[in-house]
Amino acid sequence: MSDDEKDREAAPETPAGRKLDRRDVLLALSTVPALGLFGYAWRRQRGYEEMQRESASPAKAGAPDLSEINVALLGAGAQGQVLLDSMLRIPGLRFRAVCDIWKEYNQKRAVNTLRKYKFDVHGYEDYREMLDKEKDLDAVVVATPDFWHAPHAVDCLKAGKHVYCEKEMSNTLEGARSMVIAARESGKLLQIGHQRRSHPRYLHCYKKLLGEARLLGRIVTVNGQWNRAVGPDIGFPERYAIPADRLKRYGFKTMEQFRNWRWYKGLGGGPIVDLGSHQIDIYNWFLGAAPAHVMASGGLDYHDPKTHEWYDTVMAVYEYETPAGSARAYYQTQTTNGSQGYFESFMGDQGTLVISESEANYPGFLYRDPNAPAWDEWVRKGYVSAPKVLEAKPEGEESTLDVRESVSPDLHRVPVVLRDPYHQPHLENFFDSIRGKATLNCPAEVGYETAVTVLKVNEAVEAKQRLSFRPEEFKV
Ligand SMILES: NC(=O)c1ccc[n+]([C@@H]2O[C@H](COP(=O)([O-])OP(=O)(O)OC[C@H]3O[C@@H](n4cnc5c(N)ncnc54)[C@H](O)[C@@H]3O)[C@@H](O)[C@H]2O)c1
pLDDT in tens, the chain (476 residues): 333 333 333 333 333 333 333 333 333 333 333 334 434 444 444 444 444 334 434 334 445 557 899 999 999 999 999 999 999 999 999 999 999 999 999 999 999 999 999 999 999 999 999 999 999 999 999 999 999 999 999 999 999 999 999 999 999 999 999 999 999 999 999 999 999 999 999 999 999 999 999 999 999 999 999 999 999 999 999 999 999 999 999 999 999 999 999 999 999 999 999 999 999 999 999 999 999 999 999 999 999 999 999 999 999 999 999 999 999 999 999 999 999 999 999 999 999 999 999 988 898 999 999 899 999 999 999 999 999 855 555 566 655 555 555 567 789 999 999 999 999 999 999 999 999 999 999 999 999 999 999 999 999 999 999 999 999 999 99
C-alpha distance from residue 341 to each of 268, 271, 303, 336, 416 (Å): 22, 14, 19, 12, 20
Tell me the CA–centroid distance for residue 75 and ligand 1, in Å.
6
3-state helix, strand, coil in the chain (%, to 5): 40, 20, 40
Tell me the CA–centroid distance for residue 80 and ligand 1, in Å.
6
Check: pTM over 0.85? Answer yes or no.
yes
Among residues 300, 350, 341, 344, which one has the least CA distance to residue 318?
Answer: 344
Q: Which ligand 1 atom sits closest to the C-alpha of 258?
A: 19
Tell me the CA–centroid distance for residue 349 and ligand 1, in Å.
41
Give me the helices (H) in 235-326, please: 244-249, 255-259, 271-274, 276-287
Nearest CA to ligand 1 atom 28: 144
Tell me the CA–centroid distance for residue 261 and ligand 1, in Å.
9
Question: Where does residue 92 fall: left (phi above 0), alpha (psi -120 to 50 degrees), or beta otherwise?
Answer: left
β-sheet bridge partners, residue 19: 13
Report residues whose beta carbon is within 6 angstroms of any ligand 1 atom: 74-80, 99-102, 106, 127, 143-146, 148, 166-168, 193, 195, 250, 274
Among residues 72, 243, 272, 249, which one has the least CA distance to residue 148?
Answer: 249
Pocket test for ligand 1, best of 74, 79, 172, 257 (most atoms within 8 A of CB): 79
Tell me the CA–centroid distance for residue 149 and ligand 1, in Å.
9
**Backbone phi, psi, residue 155, to 5°:** -65, -35
Q: For residues 100 and 240, is the Cβ–Cβ distance under 8 A?
A: no
Pocket test for ligand 1, best of 73, 127, 144 (most atoms within 8 A of CB): 144
Q: For residues 154 and 178, is the Cβ–Cβ distance under 8 A?
A: yes
